[in-house]
Amino acid sequence: MFGNIIKFEKSKIYVENIKKIADTNYIGFHVVFEEPNHKTVGEITEINKDVIGIQLIGEIVDGIFANGVMKKPGMNTIARIIYKSELELILGNQDLSNRSNLLIGSSPIYKDYIITSNINEFFANHFAVIGNTGSGKSCGLSRLIQNVFFTANNNIPINAHMCLFDVYGEYYNTFDEMDKFVGLHFKKYTTEIRFGDANLLTIPAYLLTVDDLAILLGVKDSSQLPILSKSLELVRIFCSNDPKSVDYKNDIIAKTVLDILSSGKNSTQIRDQVISILTTYHTEAINLDSKIRQPGYERTLRQCLNIDDQGKINALALVINFLQTYVKVDLDIDLDENITYTLSDLYYALEFALISEGILTSESAFDKNNILKSRLQSIINSDRNEFFKFDRYMSRAEFVEDFFKTGPHGENVQLVDINLSFIEDSFAKCLTKIFSRVFFEHTTSLQDRGSFPIHIVLEEAHRYVQNDSDINVLGYNIFDRITKEGRKYGTILGFVTQRPNELSKTALSQCSNFVVFRLFYPEDLEIVKGISSNVTDETLEKIKTLKPGMGLVFGTAFKVPLLVKFPLPNPMPISTSIKIDKVWYQ
């Protein structure tokens, strides 16, 4: 079949077709140019009755395949079809009894051959599953995960921790079969408050950080972060059992009112502002009805704010002396580590944070920061408040570990599905970021680095992993941070998207492995081409014409880009197209 080399064109070789038959069935097959102590491997990309085009892809030296070609074959070297033993070096080890081998799918080129990768090289790195709608990416992802758990061959990955953020609830029943395997468990969380057959997704309000609150409340200006930080400080004080917490409130109110009294404004403005603040913020000790005593008589604080005929607050000195008795130079409060609180408690603390920072005395600062109160109040008064209720104290570590436990004996859960289909996109994005941050910080806090790996798989990732304002407000984007820092700690991200051009470029650039299904959009194809030097124009043409369920895999887990046929998962995700003929013609 293969004759002499006719010419070289960059990394492509054209050889004579001695059979003079344009047998296109050979396209995609691998060939070897064998020379003493050296084998050059190529892939047949085109064929006609005179010439066969072969793309050089790598070399085999001392029984090891290496991507890329350092030395091209001599002009007199004759190609041959690759041997079985050589083919395994490219397609992956065919022995699935070895737990290091991860089944990806079957080869559409070579009958009875499977495509595998080393499980470390795939799942120890960030990955992306890309494809247009209807291309088979949901089924492909399902099959890939089922391959991990359903083809274990007695090698049960009991310490796996996968969390799938399921935007449409497609995968809710796809992995129920896991519970039939000893030691494997599948857990479901829902965002439907009235749903009865699964756990409601919740995270304690007391585990939220400043960054979480900024995301939840839609902060757009980093100058608002100190108010949130102060709120978290105050809510722990106010919810503690230390009696000094009352002194703390009195101290804040007294200092705020004293600032107003010394502001230099006219008496009417001072009186009105003090009354306004004490109407909303008061304690048993400091309020408008507090008694201010003087030898011979007493008046309420409200009465002391009356303005005389000269336009002055004539009892101003009495009010100042009264308030100064509540100002504390140093309040050392012994806080319990196991303090719990709700969003309502946090709202109360936020109010005090606003006055303690002098926000209420500045109109511009008030307008900018008061919106935080409004947004938090909106959450408290809505169903979203249910997602932050928790009936007991748990540390972050205990919360994460419990998240991946099930049953009365706390058995390990290897796969968690979070059904986000019952909440709006903006809130789903907040929850996804918050949980991802909690998972990431848990893995980074472990003394035994990498001992609790967590795989975060984001369906419709382009909705959440974006170049948004987080970087300007917080100084980072949690997904970008995880892709850059998470791998060494065992926090791995998996992106599933039909629009890679809308995905954060930083996050996508940190992915090491890709499963690409059919794509049409030119910008998406350009992104795929730019991901790897191994993605050629011929490869892009293949991507455009892939059948549903057929994907192109490439990255550090694969020797070269390979076409893979993904068998249909069982059970299937709820992602198939609607059957119009069955619906219309019932």
Could you tell me if 222 and 353 lie in one domain? yes
3-class SS of residue 112: coil
Of 331, 347, 380, which marks where a domain is finished? 380
- pLDDT value of residue 294: 83
Provide the angle, in degrees to the nearest 10, between the axes of the packed helices 363-380 and 225-238. Answer: 60
Find the Cα–Cα–Cα–Cα dihedral 558, 437, 388, 169, rounded to 10°: -20
Q: Give me the amino acid identity at 208.
A: L
- pLDDT value of residue 79: 95
State which H helix or E strand residue 279 sits in. Answer: helix 267-280
We report the CATH number of the domain holding residue 84 as: 2.40.30
Residue 104 phi/psi, 5° resolution?
Answer: -100, -50
Q: Give me the amino acid identity at 81.
A: I
Identify whether 571 is preceded by a cis peptide bond (ω within 30 of 0): yes
Could you tell me if 66 and 195 lie in one domain? no
Could you tell me if 222 and 332 lie in one domain? yes
| Domain presence at residue 385 | no
- CB-based contact 230:219 (threshold 8 Å): no
| Domain presence at residue 539 | yes
Percent of the chain residues topping a pLDDT of 70: 96
- pLDDT value of residue 152: 57
Q: What is the DSSP letter of 484?
A: I
Could you tell me if 238 and 346 lie in one domain? yes
Of 380, 410, 425, which marks where a domain is finished? 380
Alpha-carbon distance 475 to 376, whole Å? 23
pLDDT along the chain (586 residues), means of 10: 92 93 92 92 94 94 90 92 94 91 95 95 96 93 93 79 95 89 92 75 96 95 92 85 79 87 87 88 91 87 91 90 86 73 93 74 72 94 94 93 92 96 95 97 95 97 90 93 96 95 90 94 88 79 90 94 93 80 79
- pLDDT value of residue 586: 67
| Domain presence at residue 552 | yes
Domain count, the chain: 3
The residue with tokens 């490439």 is: 554
Could you tell me if 442 and 571 lie in one domain? yes
Alpha-carbon distance 585 to 111, whole Å? 40
The residue with tokens 């085999």 is: 60
Alpha-carbon distance 465 to 473, whole Å? 16
Find the Cα–Cα–Cα–Cα dihedral 224, 226, 231, 237, rounded to 10°: 180
The residue with tokens 């502001």 is: 263
Q: Count CB neighbours of 241 within 10 A.
A: 9
| Domain presence at residue 99 | no
Alpha-carbon distance 9 to 280, whole Å? 80
Q: Count CB neighbours of 448 within 10 A.
A: 6
Q: Give me the amino acid identity at 111.
A: K
| Domain presence at residue 102 | no
- pLDDT value of residue 103: 95
3-class SS of residue 31: strand
Could you tell me if 457 and 427 lie in one domain? yes
Length of the chain: 586
- 89-114: string of b/e by CB count within 10 Å (b at 16+)? bbbbebebeeeebbbbbbbbbbeebb
Alpha-carbon distance 570 to 582, whole Å? 23
3-class SS of residue 33: strand
- pLDDT value of residue 356: 73
Q: Count CB neighbours of 454 within 10 A.
A: 25
| Domain presence at residue 109 | no
Could you tell me if 279 and 364 lie in one domain? yes
Alpha-carbon distance 100 to 84, whole Å? 21
- pLDDT value of residue 331: 64
7: left (phi over 0), alpha (psi -120 to 50) or beta: beta
| Domain presence at residue 285 | yes
Could you tell me if 302 and 417 lie in one domain? no
State which H helix or E strand residue 515 sits in. Answer: strand 513-516
- pLDDT value of residue 198: 59
Q: Which of 126, 4, 95, 145 is nearest to 531 (CA)?
A: 126
Could you tell me if 162 and 267 lie in one domain? no
Alpha-carbon distance 381 to 371, whole Å? 15
Could you tell me if 283 and 331 lie in one domain? yes
- CB-based contact 538:511 (threshold 8 Å): no
Alpha-carbon distance 518 to 530, whole Å? 17
In angstroms, the Cα distances linking 221 to 54, 158, 405 are: 56, 44, 38
Provide the pairing of β-strand 51-61 with 64-67: antiparallel
Could you tell me if 474 and 507 lie in one domain? yes
- CB-based contact 209:229 (threshold 8 Å): no
| Domain presence at residue 527 | yes
- pLDDT value of residue 435: 98
Of 91, 107, 142, which marks where a domain is finished? 91
Alpha-carbon distance 255 to 326, whole Å? 9
Q: Which of 35, 38, 24, 33 is nearest to 55 (CA)?
A: 33
Alpha-carbon distance 557 to 198, whole Å? 36
The residue with tokens 């890309």 is: 130
pTM of the model: 0.89
Structural domain of residue 6, as residue ranges? 2-91
Could you tell me if 261 and 366 lie in one domain? yes
Alpha-carbon distance 266 to 270, whole Å? 6
Provide the angle, in degrees to the nearest 10, between the axes of the packed helices 425-445 and 396-403. Answer: 110
Alpha-carbon distance 451 to 336, whole Å? 29
